[in-house]
Amino acid sequence: MTPGMQTAGLSPLDRPNSYIGKAVPRPNLERLLEGRGQYVSDITLPRMVHAVFVRSPHAHARIVGIDVTEAKTMSGVIAVVTGAELAKVITPWVGVLSHLKGLKSAPQHAIAVDRACWQGEAVAAVLATSRALAEDAAEHVVVEYEPLPVVTNVRTALDPATPIIHAELGDNLAFERKIDAGAVDDAFKRSDKIVDVEFIFGRHTGVTLEPRSIVADWAPGDRRMTVYLGNQAPHMVQNIVAKHLDLEEAQVRVLCKDVGGSFGVKVHIYADEMATCALSKLLRRPVKFVADRVESFNTDIHARDHICRGRIGVSHDGTINVFEIDDLTGVGPYSMYPRTSAVEANQVIILIGGPYTTPNYRGRTRVVFQNKNVMSQYRGVGHPIACSITEGLVDLAAQAIGMDPVEIRRRNMVRDDAYPCDSPTGLKFEALSHHASLDKLVAMMRYDDLRAEQVKLRKQGIYRGIGIASFIEVTNPGAAFYGVGGARISSQDGVAVRLDAAGTVICQTSVTEQGQGSESMTAQIVASAIGVSMEKVRVILGDTDNTPYGGGTWASRGTGIAGEAALQAAKVLRGNILATAAAILQGKPDDFDIVDGMIVDAHGQQRIELNELTRIAYFRPDTLPPGFQPELMATRHYVPRQYPFAFTNGVQASWLEVDVITGKVKLLKHWVVEDCGTIINPQLVDEQIRGGVVQGLGAALFEHCIYDETGQLTNANMADYLVPMATEMPDIEVGHQISPTLESELGAKGAGEAGAAGAAACVSNAVNDALSPFGVTITEIPLTPRLILTALGRI
Amino acid sequence: MKAPAFNYARASSVQEAIDLLSHYGDRAKVLSGGQSLMPALNLRLLAPEWLIDIGPIVDLRRISVESGLLTIGASTRHADLHRSPDIAAHAPLLKDAVAHVAHPAIRNRGTIGGSLAHADPASELPACMVALDATIVVLGPDGERRIPAVDFFVGIYETQLLPGELLVAIEVPKRAAGVRHFFSEHVRRSGDYAMAGLAAEAEIDGDAFVRLRLGFFAVGERPILATAARHLIGRPVTEAVLAQACAALDDELAPQDDHQATAGMRRYLARQLLVECIVSLLGRSDLRTKVVA
Amino acid sequence: MIAPVPIALTVNHERVEALVLPRLNLADFLRDHLSLTGTHVGCEHGVCGACTVRVNGDIVRSCLILAIQAENATVETIEGLSDSGEIADLQSAFHQRNALQCGFCTPAMLMAAQDLLLTNPDPDRDQIREHLSGNYCRCTGYHAIVDAVESTAHARLERAG
């Protein structure tokens, strides 16, 4: 590569044939629209067997013995494997990261060896020629358990009288972090009003429509493991599978084709998935495991489930002087591997008060072990909790001093011209737009008209409420998230682009697609940067053998990080194409441009098509000037270095009606204004926002993993775990502010989690607003009719 | 999860179904629309040796009207009920109620007989049958039994059906002129099982009820024909009368706790439904505001 | 040991004969025996709606029907509706409006939407939401789906004059 070629002939991205900022339809969707996608559950391989896991019915029990005699004789059964047997081919792991100081956990096995620590933990595997036959045999695996004392209540998990789940750890405390910034006690003293409440967040889960699915294919002849997995981070999986199965990474290929929903649920690698890989190695044949829905509820990561005391001190003039929280969460018996189960709590404690100038903040969060399913990162990680606490406290403070909720926010949010600046917790903000976003939201929703309508309807006994929630969102994480803690989870992404002989662009990227539009985003950037139509760009992703090394799609990082890598790679290729054009046309690269797949000269005159250029480059290089070698493939990698995260911001509003007779909440309308920097495809951003909002609305009103005191998940099916359905969801209007990050040329920040971040907070605030004539405040979600009727004193 | 293994027998006539049922007894389950049975099988909550499929029995999927009586074959689907002009004309309560049963794809398979024989206390149709004073017709090896709906439902998933008997039809008295009905239920989400529901039919003379049948569901182990109605019949309904009826209603409900509602909440919702029902049937919105909690 | 039973039915206008175990549900039959994997399995207890297909013209949950019950039935899956062109406009509207993300709910959502439009050519947004409320979508939040169904209805009405 000749220095100087890289930027030769670059045109700005907003030139007429650019796709940047255009709402073009995602390419290659016909496959999914016609039911011709390939999800892991669709994959069948020769000699493939089906794995079914025998799972502990107890939340905590010693495994005294496992009798597989009868099961092994049953029709279609290939093998029955216990944890102890599997442990010979797969090593256990401990889900800690060194930068989460003090985080501890115990070794976890792919299949429990001598003790089951939550209801649903696998204790044996049955492999048979069909899932049904494997299930038949699993019913005949006889496991003798000795029930052990169960820890379920997080409030008492640290009491001396409570049994310790992992004796070697000394207590049930997995992680604790404290922050003390400014002068908290003084700030409370000089506050005119102090609000002190407890917030409760239900435990919920991702409920991807396609359950977790894996086909592991150990090919003894090749000494290679091919893993077909619905996952967001294939290179992470490659590393973990190799590490624990005593393989070189090069022996493991991870393929992520179509994925039926991910949302963080599928950014992890689960014990049963690791077991499936080990079983394939053990049996020397392909093994498929598709979780059924009950297993999904019992073993897909859960999230939220925080109890948090929050205090806010405010002056009569609306100045918010101080925030204080004391947060507690239970994360199951193990910290999830390799991303850990401390990140949500860590995000909560650092994000409190995010949009505000308030310099005084004290926080503590504690993460405890318990005998329930594991918790870990799910869409929005910590944001919905931090936002609900912050915005709940701000609304209550406004109520305490008799100020309008919009006004108190305007008086306290960081000014739009104050950037760059740091938060009291040390977060570095490059450029946010809280005020402009709030102004836009207020206009979109016609705030004053709604307030007038609210007053009018109240007189008729109709109780409507408005809830507002501002938020900041962590996107584009650099190495600070995982790499510095010792996890081999890449924060950089790589993109390779090449011009093929037919003049088409092949683009390999390390991000993955689960419907966000990674493929579209990549194609739009590459097509724009090179100067070809999107139809000429084919994007390959989700294959560790065939993409550059990189992180994948999670933490709202795909566009901001891999998009920039795509831009830079495409620019290099463009320069190389122009150098080739110059060689063919006997000019200088700067004299030419690429417009819609055609080399044009400085006068806009069309000179040669790209497929003519490639014909010469690939088949008639003898006609090129001596010493000139066309390089029609380029790779670039990118990771943000200046800021550990690219913060985005936004604000949401909910307009709803509470039926004070039935306790039902009807969502009437929802608005979002968000600022993710440069927008590549506004339609895709809007739909990410809407999808995230509805996940937040589900959390606010419906979703709840309900455990009893013995650690049994009592609603592990889709009839009893209520997900948001179409009838109950509102239309959602989305607006944008654009504050690009200057760290990258593209200027894009993430948008994947903004919807989830603020939706529940708005609904809580709106319900409390609606119920204000009754003097009722509810700081718990989900806001069920039962909760509301109870608060109203009706039941 | 996949269903456990079972044998399958297809009955092409009612007699064949009864013969099969008599033969296999407790080892068999009747497969009608399958919309409750199949989930239970797929979750391995049931493991019958035999399924006897009555779906192919054409005679069982029909709606006929004869001299004051509407006869509904057991295999008539929810969607059939919703579409039927006869149902709309002679039992409009049923038309209203089936719109609340699950979702279109379920209503296209689920049958009235299946729903009644399954006897889920949170289901809509059993309560409708009670309110409509329907008769459940069952056939068994010893011939036909005609069971009033109020007696048919015994407990949670329990009916008077004996092993070997098949529910074949439901007879509903044609609605007389001037009869009004009410249907409402409280659900978390559209199509969910109710936290409390009420199907009612009434005859009104002037400002008073002449007849009032209140079929409550999801507030006890079976659909309940509320005797509290007696307080409301034959007199002008005042705030005090309604309050008295609500109190009486409370005594005859035996609701249970579940994830969506406590027993107390169900009692509360049942009272609200009663108020709403009376308000609606009498067109007396003044009663709504007075009797709330 | 329970033996497989012969069945004959029509799937996407093709005559199909197969030997199936009684316990095999229609969704698994379509997917595993006929490789029609566009019919998705999301919950297997009739709640998520992902397995929705048409049997004798009615939309049904294929996880709640035994394959053996489909004897002599006419079954249509997303592949069939795609190949016949019956829902080409609806599919295009979903594509243009980005009314799908991961695509796992999409075949069934299209089935349910087409069912609505066949019986109610001019539904309002609430009616669209109600008819689709047995089909779970975790990605879109439903708004875009409602838009796509609404715009297809309007376009069809316009075409019909």
pLDDT tens for residues A606-630?
Answer: 999 999 999 999 999 999 999 999 9
Q: How many CB atoms lie within 10 A of CB A708?
A: 11
C58 and C93 belong to one structural domain:
no
Are residues C53 and C103 both part of a single domain?
no
Q: Rounded to whole angstroms, how far apart are CA atoms A185 and A199?
A: 21
Residue A665 has pLDDT above 70, yes or no: yes
B201/B212 Cα distance (integer angstroms): 6
Neighbours of chain B (3+ CB pairs under 8 A): A, C
Dist CA A781 CA A700 (whole Å): 5
Candidate from B1, B3, B39 with C-beta closest to C46:
B39
Task: Name every residue whose Cβ is closer than 8 Å to that of residue A139 and which is 6 or more positions away in sequence.
Answer: B44
Judged by DSSP in three states, A685 sits in helix
CA gap A539, A572 in Å, rounded: 17
Q: How far apart are CA B88 and CA B86, in angstroms?
A: 5
Residue B23 is which amino acid?
H
pLDDT at C161: 83
Q: How far is CA A143 from the centre of its chain?
A: 37
DSSP A244-281: HTT--GGGEEEE--B-S--TTGGGS--HHHHHHHHHHH
Q: Is the dihedral of CA B33, B36, B37, B39 positive or negative?
A: positive
| Distance in Å, alpha carbon of A631 to nearest chain C alpha carbon | 36
pLDDT exceeds cutoff 90 at A379:
yes
Which residues are A128's β-sheet partners? A50, A77
pLDDT of C1: 80
Start and end residues for every CATH 3.30.365.10 domain found in chain A: 30-37+492-638, 302-479+642-791
- Please state which CATH number belongs to domain A302-479+642-791: 3.30.365.10
Q: What is the mean pLDDT of chain B?
A: 96
pLDDT tens string A674-715: 999 999 999 999 999 999 999 999 999 999 999 999 999 999
Q: Residue B236 gets which letter from DSSP?
A: B
Residue type, B113: G
Rounded Cα distance between A54 and A72, Å, is 13
Choosing from C50, C81, C112, the residue where a domain stops is C81
Binned at pLDDT 50, 70 and 90, residue A1 comes out as: very low
What are A107-119's pLDDT values in tens digits?
999 999 999 999 9
Rounded to an integer, what distance in angstroms lies between the CA atom of residue B184 and that of residue B270? 10
- B63-121: pLDDT as tens digits: 999 989 999 999 999 999 999 999 999 999 999 999 999 999 999 999 999 999 999 99
* Interatomic CA distance for residues A553 and A233, integer angstroms: 7
The residue type found at A524 is Q
Q: Beta-carbon neighbour count of residue B158 at 10 Å?
A: 12
Phi, psi angles (nearest 5°) of residue A555: 55, 35
> CB B2 to CB C66 under 8 A?
no
- Domain end position, chosen among C23, C54, C81: C81
pLDDT higher than 70, residue A241 = yes
Q: What is the CATH number of the domain that holds C112?
A: 1.10.150.120
* pLDDT for residue A480: 87
% of chain A with per-residue pLDDT over 70? 98
Q: How far is CA B255 from CA A378, A651, A790, B249, in A?
A: 37, 43, 17, 12
What mean pLDDT comes out for the span C131-137?
98
**Secondary structure (3-state) at B202:** strand
**In degrees rounded to 5, what are phi and psi of residue A167?**
-55, -35
Tell me the pLDDT tens digit for each residue of B121-140.
999 999 999 999 999 999 99
Q: For residue range A539-573, what is the model confidence (pLDDT) as tens digits? A: 999 999 999 999 999 999 999 999 999 999 999 99
Cβ-based contacts of C40 with chain A (< 8 Å): 35, 39, 41, 209-210, 260
Written as six digits, the tokens of A536 are 């000429």
Task: Flag whether pLDDT at B293 surpasses 70.
Answer: no
Under 8 Å CB pairs connecting chains A and B tally to 66
What is residue A2's predicted lDDT score, i.e. its pLDDT? 34
Q: What is the pLDDT of residue A692?
A: 98
Residue B175 in this model has a pLDDT that exceeds 80: yes
Q: Which residues in chain B touch residue C115, judged by CB atoms under 8 angstroms apart?
A: 104
The pTM score is 0.97
Taking the Cβ of residue A24 and every Cβ of chain C, the question of whether any pair is shorter than 8 Å is answered with: no
Model confidence over A339-354: pLDDT tens digits?
999 999 999 999 999 9
pLDDT at res. A6: 32
SS3 (DSSP) at B64: strand
Domain ranges in chain A with CATH number 3.90.1170.50: 40-148+211-259+265-299
| Rounded Cα distance, A650 and A78, in Å | 54
Q: Which residues in chain A are contacts of B292 at CB distance < 8 A?
A: 661, 794
Please give the span between the terminal C-alpha atoms of chain A, in angstroms, as a whole number: 75
- Mean pLDDT for C65-84 is 98
Neighbours of A249 (CB within 10 A): 16
Q: Which residues of A lie closer than 8 Å to B, measured between beta carbons? A: 130-132, 135-136, 139, 292-294, 461, 661-662, 664, 702, 706, 714-715, 717, 719-720, 722, 725, 727-728, 784-786, 789, 793-795
ipTM, two decimals, is: 0.98
Annotate A641-680 with DSSP letters as a single string: -SSSSEEEEEEEEEEEEE-TTT--EEEEEEEEEEE-BS-S
Do C32 and C54 reside in the same domain of the chain?
yes
When pLDDT is averaged across residues A265-289 and rounded to a whole number, the result is 98
DSSP one-letter string for A424-465: TT-PEES---HHHHHHHHHHHHTHHHHHHHHHHHHHTT-EEE
Q: Do A132 and C132 touch (CB under 8 A)?
A: no
DSSP code of A374? -
Looking at the partner chain, which of C28, C66, C134 has a beta carbon nearest the beta carbon of B105? C134
What b-and-e string marks burial along A132-149, b requiring 16 or more CB atoms within 10 Å of the CB? bbbbbbbbbbebebeebe
Encode burial over A560-580: b for 16+ CB neighbours within 10 A, e otherwise. Answer: bbbbbbbbbbbbbbbbbbbbb
Q: Which of C2, C69, C115 sits opposite B104 (nearest CB)?
A: C115
CATH of B180-290, one of 3.20.20.140, 3.30.390.50, 3.40.50.300, 3.40.50.1970: 3.30.390.50
On the question of pLDDT at A7 being above 60, the answer is no
Number of C-beta neighbours around residue A626 at 10 A: 4
pLDDT for the residue A481: 87
* Residue A749 · residue A645 · CB < 8 Å: no
Give the DSSP per-residue string, chain B. --PPP-EEEE-SSHHHHHHHHHHHGGGEEEESS-TTHHHHHHTTS---SEEEE-TT-GGGS-EEEETTEEEEETT-BHHHHHH-HHHHHH-HHHHHHHTTSS-HHHHTT-BHHHHHHHT-TT-HHHHHHHHTT-EEEEEETTEEEEEEHHHHEEETTEESPPTT-EEEEEEEEPPPTT-EEEEEEE-SSTTSPPSEEEEEEEEEETTEEEEEEEEEESSSSS-EE-GGGGGGBTSB--HHHHHHHHHHHHHH------SS--HHHHHHHHHHHHHHHHHHHHT-THHHHHS--
Tell me which residue in C44, C106, C135 faces A293 most closely, judged by beta carbons: C44
Q: How high is the pLDDT of residue B288? A: 81
Percent of chain C surpassing pLDDT 70: 100
Q: Quick check: B6 and C65 CB within 8 A? A: no
| Cα angle for residues B201, B207, B211 (degrees, 5° grid) | 30
Over residues C131-160, mean pLDDT: 98
Q: How far is B20 from chain A (nearest CA, A)?
A: 26
Burial of B97 per CB tally in 10 Å (0-12, 13-18, 19+): buried
For the stretch B249-271, pLDDT in tens is: 999 999 999 999 999 999 999 99
In which residue are the tokens 């003894």 written? A220
pLDDT value at A3 more than 60 = no
Is B7-53 in CATH node 3.40.50.300? no
- Owning domain of residue C120: 87-160
Quote the CA–CA distance of A514 and A231 in Å, as a whole number: 8
CATH class of A30-37+492-638: alpha beta
- In this prediction, residue A425 carries a pLDDT of 86
SS3 B108: coil
For the domain covering B58-173, report its CATH number. Answer: 3.30.465.10
What pLDDT does residue A15 have?
Answer: 65
Exposed/middle/buried for residue A795 (C-beta within 10 Å: 0-12, 13-18, 19+):
buried
CB A760 within 8 A of CB A382: no
Dist CA A662 CA A462 (whole Å): 13
Q: Which of A35, A206, A718 sits opposite C47 (nearest CB)?
A: A718
Instruction: Give me the sheet containing A142-147, strands edge to edge.
Output: A115-116, A61-67, A142-147
pLDDT value at A597 more than 50: yes
| CB atoms near residue B68 (< 10 Å) | 10
Cα B244 versus chain centre, distance: 26
- C-beta atoms of C133 and B31 within 8 A: no
Mean pLDDT of B5-28: 96
Q: In angstroms, rounded to a whole number, what is the distance separating the alpha carbons of residues A785 and A658?
A: 9
Three-class DSSP category at A327: strand
Using an 8 Å Cβ cutoff, are C134 and C51 in contact? no
Of the residues C24, C53, C81, which one is the last residue of a structural domain? Answer: C81
Rounded CA separation A465/A479 (Å): 42
The whole-angstrom distance between A727's CA and the closest CA on chain B is 7
- Count of structural domains, chain C: 2
Predicted local confidence at residue A14, as pLDDT = 59
Q: Which fold has domain A40-148+211-259+265-299?
A: Aldehyde Oxidoreductase; domain 3 (3.90.1170)
Report pLDDT digits (tens) over A34-92.
999 999 999 999 999 999 999 999 999 999 999 999 999 999 999 999 999 999 999 99
Q: In angstroms, rounded to a whole number, what is the distance separating the alpha carbons of residues A154 and A331? A: 9
- Rounded to the nearest 10°, the torsion over CA C142, C145, C149, C152 is 160
H or E segment to which residue C157 belongs: helix C143-160
Spans of all domains in chain B: 7-53, 58-173, 180-290
pLDDT at A424: 86
DSSP line for A185-208: HHHHHT-SEEEEEEEEE-EEE---
Structure confidence at residue A223 (pLDDT): 97
**Which of C55, C66, C77, C119 best tests the B interface by mutation, with the highest count of B CBs <10 A?**
C66
CB contact under 8 A, B189 and A794: no
Q: List CB contacts (< 8 A) between A728 and chain C.
A: 133
| Contact between residue A332 and residue A60 where contact means Cβ atoms under 8 Å apart | no
Q: CA-CA distance, A51 to A80, in Å (whole number)? A: 9
- Strands B69-73 vs B135-140: parallel, antiparallel or unpaired: unpaired
Contact at 8 Å (CB) between B60 and B75? yes
- Subunits in contact with chain A (3 or more CB pairs closer than 8 Å): B, C
Residue C56: CATH number of its domain: 3.10.20.30
Mean pLDDT, rounded, of chain A: 96
Let me know whether C119 and C73 are in one domain. no
- Residue B192 region by backbone torsions, left for phi larger than 0, else alpha for psi between -120 and 50, else beta: beta
User: Is the domain of C65 the same as that of C105?
Assistant: no
Tell me which chain A residues have a C-beta less than 8 angstroms from the C-beta of C2.
Answer: none
Q: Which residue has the tokens 């990189």?
A: A550
- Verify whether the Cβ–Cβ distance A258 to C78 is below 8 Å: no
